[in-house]
Amino acid sequence: MIILPGRPITKKNSQQIVMNRRTKRRQVIQSEYYRAYEETCLWHLKKYRVKYTGPVWVTARYWMPNRRSWPDLMGLLQATADILEAAGIIENDRGIVSLDGSEIVGVDKENPRAEIEIREVSE
């Protein structure tokens, strides 16, 4: 089981529009909050020495610190999949064939987190 400490944050609902200085065009980037969350998660995931290259089943359970700004489950799952791929835990998030059992469990003020279980699928 992989545990990611801190308030889980969605990727899509945390975006900013900024001006690209080089191209002089607007572009969408992730918010400062999401980038900090992703950096913390990637740092934390360095201690896990697993790599899944084939299809996997993922179950993610989320605990939030409070009910303010309650996220949607799909956004959390998408952010988690992208972080697992960026960390090299899974080769490609397209390899996730099931998200059964994933849920926002509720509130844990003292220990907000994401608990992730990954199982290889035998082909």
Based on the structure, what is the number of domains in the chain? 1
pTM, rounded to two decimals: 0.83
Q: What is the CATH number of the domain that holds 9?
A: 3.30.1330.70
Digit-coded pLDDT (tens) for 10-68:
877 666 677 778 888 887 767 778 888 899 999 999 998 889 998 999 999 999 999 98
Residue type, 95: G
| pLDDT value for 33 | 83
Place of tokens 């065009």: 25
Question: What are the φ/ψ torsions at residue 80 (nearest 5 degrees)?
Answer: -60, -45
> In terms of residue numbers, what domain contains 22?
2-120
Using CA of residue 37, residue 6, residue 113, residue 108, what is the dihedral sign? negative
**Four-residue CA torsion sign, 77, 45, 39, 27:** negative
Q: Which whole number is the average pLDDT over 59-80? A: 92
* Gap between the Cα atoms of 15 and 83, Å rounded: 16
Instruction: Give pLDDT, residue 84.
Output: 95
Q: What is the pLDDT of residues 94-115, one digit of tens each?
A: 999 999 999 999 999 999 999 9
Other C-beta atoms closer than 10 Å to the C-beta of 53 total 10
